[in-house]
Structure 1
Amino acid sequence: MSLRSLTSSRRIRDIFGNTTQLLRLVWQATPLYLVLSLIVTGVKALLPALMLVVNKAIVDLVIANWGNSDLDWQPFIDLVVMRFALSLLGGILNQVNLYVSQIFNDKFVLYANYVLLEKAIQLDLAHFESAEFYDTLSRAQSSGISYPQKVVKTITALFGQALTLVSLLGLLIQFNWTIVPLLFFTSLPSFWTSVIYSGRRYWMMRRETQAGRLSDYLKQVLTQQSFAKEVRLFNLGEHLLREWRGIRQDFNSKSAVIAERYAKMRGISGVLVSIGFYFAYGWTLVRTVAGQISVGDFTMYTGAFSQSQELLPAILQNIAQIYESNLYVSQFFEFLSLKPQVIDAVYAEPFPQPIRKGLVLQDVTFTYPGASKPTLCNLNLQIKPGESIALVGLNGAGKTTLLKLITRLYDVESGMITIDDIPLQNISLPELRNNIGVLNQDFARYQLSAKDNISFGNLTKRDNLALIEEAAINAGANRVIETLEEGYQAILGKMFKGGVELSGGQWQKIGMARAFMSNAPILILDEPTAALDAIAEYELFEKFRALTAGKMTFFVSHRFSTVQLADRIVVLENSRIVEVGSHQELMSNKGLYAQMFGLQASSYNL
């Protein structure tokens, strides 16, 4: 088999490649309105042929009674009423179809978005740290809602067009069966042109995914508040605007080349369609003049051929559209096919309540996907219940990575982390995370109410205002909220109307309050005081010991005044634990910790 025939058969197979999966998705979204849409389309599809039959009867009746003074008008009235009824039914079905289509579209868009977002929240953190993932997500978001709708609309239209064509061909076969292959052969070039150029445009769009994401990112930089200050201070506006425009113009140029070639081929195939129509028209005219068919037959057959001539290319064009849309829909299902790696065990165990033995790291090694060397290598450490651990080391030593492993945002590459001798992978994932309170340095700043920002730390207590206020007091966030006119109902950030922007330190207090909402036995604080001033930091750590009493606490900090509060300090260097001990023990060892402490202390003595 030749390469060309292989390519052709592959295109034909791909035309309906995702249709079964897509129809299943549509059925799950809105089965009732899918069925209603098909019924309305089916009934509408039969009207053109019925109208032609009635028109033929009227024309033949007029000619038969031409010049008849003693005319019986009842047959005329019956036919006109029948034609009016068909016309009225068509109008009613059009309005019903508009209503059904709108409801159908709304329901499907809601469901498709829900499915996409549901998949997004199931995926691992590793996915969101991959450029390839964002390409896949971008393609799914751009094509995952509009193109599935297009496929369903096109299939529904195709169903109606097929019924109409069958009814029209039934009329044409009465005239001469050779009309049918003439219709098909003159329409095929237009169909194949659409298939070929749809594929070319799809692959061009797919290759341009990353460039498209870059242009979208530059647009965000030019329009979002977080970049506005620097864009103006460094006069970046014109430069970034030129970069954005260059990317879009390059895309438009490539698109124009494909559009130009497509237009030429469509023009050529359109000539073939016209030749076919006028050949059949002339043939019908000759037979009518020869008296072989009536004038009514002439109007019916030419009308049927004319409508079929329009309908068949439209059907083939819709099939080509399904092919193109299926290419884009495949990107939606490509995203839905992604699988998380961090998942619950088949027989997950509950989180130990209370923790009796502690948390143990046994020869833990971890390498980020795509990295050439491990971020953590052969870590061994035992933490007792209620013990506080400070993680210290230079940037990139693996402190935050270790916390990600404890919370199972990633799974260890080798070795094991256990709580009371239970491997983390065997503990129910929701229970594990419910029992670990976390405040990251890059904590989320939700552009929602102050109440939401704090209560997200423990959704089960979202309506417990007393607990929310207590958490805010413990974090020092209550003084921030007291300055807001709407208090805990105030919208934070400037994204929505009436929102109030906070300083970095104020946001961090809100984030701390979120962490303190949790009654979890394990607390993780990654640079908890990075944005706080010296006074706020002192006040926070006055309460810190009381708030963390009885909890296993991990915190990362570059401020050694904070680090000294820990029961033990773990020092990481070059992916390994190099020192463990209290502040006094590590200072007397005169190792890396003592060196780092001395350098920081000397900066205060300048």
Structure 2
Amino acid sequence: MLSRSFFDPARLRRAAAGRLGPLRHLPALVRLVYAASPRLLVASLALRLVRACLPVLILYLAKLILDAIVVEHGRPRPLGWDAWISDPHRARLAGLVAMELGLAVLSDLLGRLSTLVDGLVADLYGNAASLRLMRHAAALDLEQFEDSAQQDRIERARRQVTGRSSLITQMFGQVQDLITLATFAAGLLAYAPWLILLLAGALVPAFLNETYFNRQGYRLAWTRTPERRQIDYLRYLGASVEAAKEVKLFGLERYIAARYRVIADKLVADNRSLAIRRAAWGGGFAALGTLAYYTAYATIVWRTVAGEFSIGDLAFLAGSFQRLRGLIEGLLLGVSQIASQAQYLDDLFSFFAVVPTIRSPPAPAPFPRPIAEGIVFEDVGFRYPGTQTWAVRGLSFRLSAGEVLALVGENGAGKTTIVKLLTRLYDPTEGRILLDGRDLRAYDLDAVRGAVGVIFQDFVRFDFTASQNVAVGRIEARDDAGRIAAAAGRSLADGVIGRLPLGYDQPLGKRFEGGVDLSGGEWQKIALSRAYMREAEILVLDEPTAALDARAEFEVFRRFRDLSRDRTAVIISHRFSTVRMADRILVLEGGRVLETGTHAQLQAQGGRYAELFELQAAGYR
């Protein structure tokens, strides 16, 4: 016996909200689709409206044809075509058949046209949603990319951006079926309205069952996002050109395959368990719906035998009831499936709802061009999100305009963190950074990043042409061949590009056909050219020459020193032969400034810098 709590209104409202709550994203999805292609969206709806009315018309014509045939059985047969055509009753029968043929052909044509339009709408929506995803991702903070939970969210959004394009088609199909259902129901209500209630009542449990298991399926997919990311990564390791050398040399094939198999088997087991329970319960509820249909069908047959319905009525009612059963079942299950897919939309729209914390102020100060005074770190402290350790703390120093400053320190000293703070990839946890006397956060974010040209050690090797790889430094100038060639010349990349078969038009990398891969040192020269391409107020080189030999690195930095005259520059390098060319050297330890001065001054002090210099020099003796 059911308890009173089962019928509690508040509990029922919460249950309904849980089942239908995800539908709140559907209006936003429709707006996205409408923005992608307003005309095609309207055309799709119009086609479905016409198609929705055709089934009941065709079935009603079939009823009229059957009734006319029954009447013809009691009349003399015609002797020829002339007698057939001249007889008004038989001419009407021929006309009914012709009309049914015409509607059948029209229905087929409209169906194919609707499929075509829906496919175009889905493609345009997929492109528009992908572009929005990329634009939104580009606006997020670096912190929001480096956090593993946010990476899971981004991964889920990436999977849904095109994976749910069929949802619009399914929604429109539901609207079409609802109109068709209304036309059939109107006909059946005149004969036996209680049969409709019987059928609907029998199908509601199947709807609730599907809704429940759809929610379970989404919950399983959501909780298994980290495992899916691991599987994608292992699949990448096992079949990528970037990892192929080390996988082969270290014999990692079996290890990677074993890890993949363990995770994949767990996912398959979870899915299998859910699928078995879903099939078992679904089969029972489907049998209940079938029983209700045949109860109604038997009632219609009995009333026809009793003379209450004609043969045409029997065909119309039986056909209408069969279609109505399918429509009601389809609508109930369709709503459940749409709600299920809409849960995945939550992954997409919740990602769109993530807002960056590092943004431009409402009224940014004008960015100084050129920089007159320089940059000042005032008691800056920063720790990465999710950690209790300070990357830098109590950090204070000045970088004067036109000065070349070198940052020296062991790994973890805070060198790269300073660069990230300088470019506002992160904001200080405490303290502030001043640019020409104003807090860096007072300027427009794009202006700050546009004024700084940074090349990191882990720079990206874009699978673009050589010209485009250089132009990445100032992509809006990608058609300026002279500027690209000049930037390549400054970084010594012109010699690398000159040896390529297609020169600046040569695709780089092995990802696409016709691409040519470069050595680590050659890639670094290409990457360095991006800093010159940018022509920024501040140039930052963060260990970008690690793959170059000592002579090549010395030449690169000598040219960098000469070409960065009157520019503010920061150099990070472990090679002291390069560091000594800077105007001033900052020695960092534990996120604080330990020493500062020129190479000669620091050597004379005999402190940490002198110790590190001697350790490195000893390796060359």
TM-score (norm 2): 0.95
1:403 positional shift: 0.7
2:206 alignment partner, one of 153, 174, 190: 190
The AA in structure 2 aligned to 1:479 is G
Aligned to 1:600: 616
Q: Does 1:60 find its partner at 2:67?
A: yes
Structure 1, unaligned runs of 5 or more: none
- Point out the more displaced range, 25-34 or 545-554: 25-34
1:15 positional shift: 5.2
Aligned to 1:141: 158
Aligned to 2:405: 389
The AA in structure 1 aligned to 2:468 is D
1:7 positional shift: 5.1
Aligned to 1:245: 261
Q: Does 1:103 find its partner at 2:101?
A: no
1:283 positional shift: 0.9
1:51 positional shift: 1.4
Q: In 2, Cα distance between the equivalents of 1:146 and 1:482?
A: 43
Q: Does 1:493 find its partner at 2:509?
A: yes
The AA in structure 1 aligned to 2:511 is M
Q: In 2, Cα distance between the equivalents of 1:462 and 1:487?
A: 15
Aligned residue pairs, count: 604
Aligned-residue sequence identity (percent) comes to 35
The AA in structure 2 aligned to 1:217 is Y
Q: In 1, Cα distance between the equivalents of 2:502 and 2:416?
A: 36
Q: In 2, Cα distance between the equivalents of 1:263 and 1:199?
A: 15
Q: In 1, Cα distance between the equivalents of 2:174 and 2:146?
A: 42
1:541 positional shift: 3.1
Residue by residue over 1:391-437, the C-alpha shift from the partner in whole angstroms, topping out at 9 and shown as x without a partner, is 11110011000011111111112211111112211112222222111
Instruction: Name the SS of the counterpart of 2:142 in structure 1.
Output: coil
Q: In 2, Cα distance between the equivalents of 1:329 and 1:175?
A: 42
The AA in structure 2 aligned to 1:54 is L
CA RMSD of aligned residues (A): 1.5
1:575 positional shift: 1.4
1:408 alignment partner, one of 389, 407, 424: 424
The AA in structure 1 aligned to 2:144 is H
Q: In 1, Cα distance between the equivalents of 2:458 and 2:18?
A: 47
Q: In 2, Cα distance between the equivalents of 1:398 and 1:389?
A: 15
Q: In 2, Cα distance between the equivalents of 1:537 and 1:603?
A: 18
Residue by residue over 1:280-324, the C-alpha shift from the partner in whole angstroms, topping out at 9 and shown as x without a partner, is 111111111111222211111111111111111011110111111
Q: Does 1:306 find its partner at 2:322?
A: yes
Aligned to 1:29: 36
1:105 positional shift: 1.3
1:13 positional shift: 3.1
Aligned to 1:39: 46
Q: Does 1:587 find its partner at 2:579?
A: no
Residue by residue over 1:41-81, the C-alpha shift from the partner in whole angstroms, topping out at 9 and shown as x without a partner, is 11111111111221111222222332312753221122122
Q: In 2, Cα distance between the equivalents of 1:519 and 1:206?
A: 45
Q: In 2, Cα distance between the equivalents of 1:452 and 1:51?
A: 60
- Verify the 8 A CA contact 1:586 1:593 in the aligned structure 2: yes
Q: In 2, Cα distance between the equivalents of 1:259 and 1:7?
A: 26
Query: What is the 5 A alignment of 1:331-342?
Result: 331-342=347-358
Residue by residue over 1:250-302, the C-alpha shift from the partner in whole angstroms, topping out at 9 and shown as x without a partner, is 11111011111111111111111111111111111111111122221111111
1:32 positional shift: 1.6
Q: Does 1:508 find its partner at 2:559?
A: no
- Verify the 8 A CA contact 1:172 1:301 in the aligned structure 2: yes
- Point out the more displaced range, 70-79 or 592-601: 70-79
Aligned to 1:258: 274
1:578 alignment partner, one of 594, 609, 613: 594
- Verify the 8 A CA contact 2:126 2:161 in the aligned structure 1: no
Q: In 2, Cα distance between the equivalents of 1:475 and 1:114?
A: 33
- Point out the more displaced range, 417-426 or 392-401: 417-426
1:462 positional shift: 2.0
Point out 4+ residue stretches in structure 1 off by more than 4 angstroms: 1-4
1:249 positional shift: 1.5
Query: What is the 5 A alignment of 1:60-209?
Result: 60-69=67-76, 71-72=87-88, 73-147=90-164, 149-209=165-225
Query: What is the 5 A alignment of 1:344-355?
Result: 344-355=360-371
Residue by residue over 1:315-356, the C-alpha shift from the partner in whole angstroms, topping out at 9 and shown as x without a partner, is 111011111101111111121111111111111123201221
1:111 positional shift: 0.9
Q: In 2, Cα distance between the equivalents of 1:469 and 1:19?
A: 50
- Verify the 8 A CA contact 1:15 1:319 in the aligned structure 2: no
The AA in structure 2 aligned to 1:558 is H
- Verify the 8 A CA contact 1:453 1:510 in the aligned structure 2: yes
- Verify the 8 A CA contact 2:20 2:339 in the aligned structure 1: no
2:24 alignment partner, one of 17, 26, 39: 17
Instruction: Name the SS of the counterpart of 1:198 in structure 2.
Output: helix
Structure 2, unaligned runs of 5 or more: 79-86
Q: Does 1:268 find its partner at 2:284?
A: yes
Instruction: Name the SS of the counterpart of 1:192 in structure 2.
Output: helix
- Point out the more displaced range, 169-178 or 69-78: 69-78
Residue by residue over 1:351-379, the C-alpha shift from the partner in whole angstroms, topping out at 9 and shown as x without a partner, is 20122111111111111111102211121
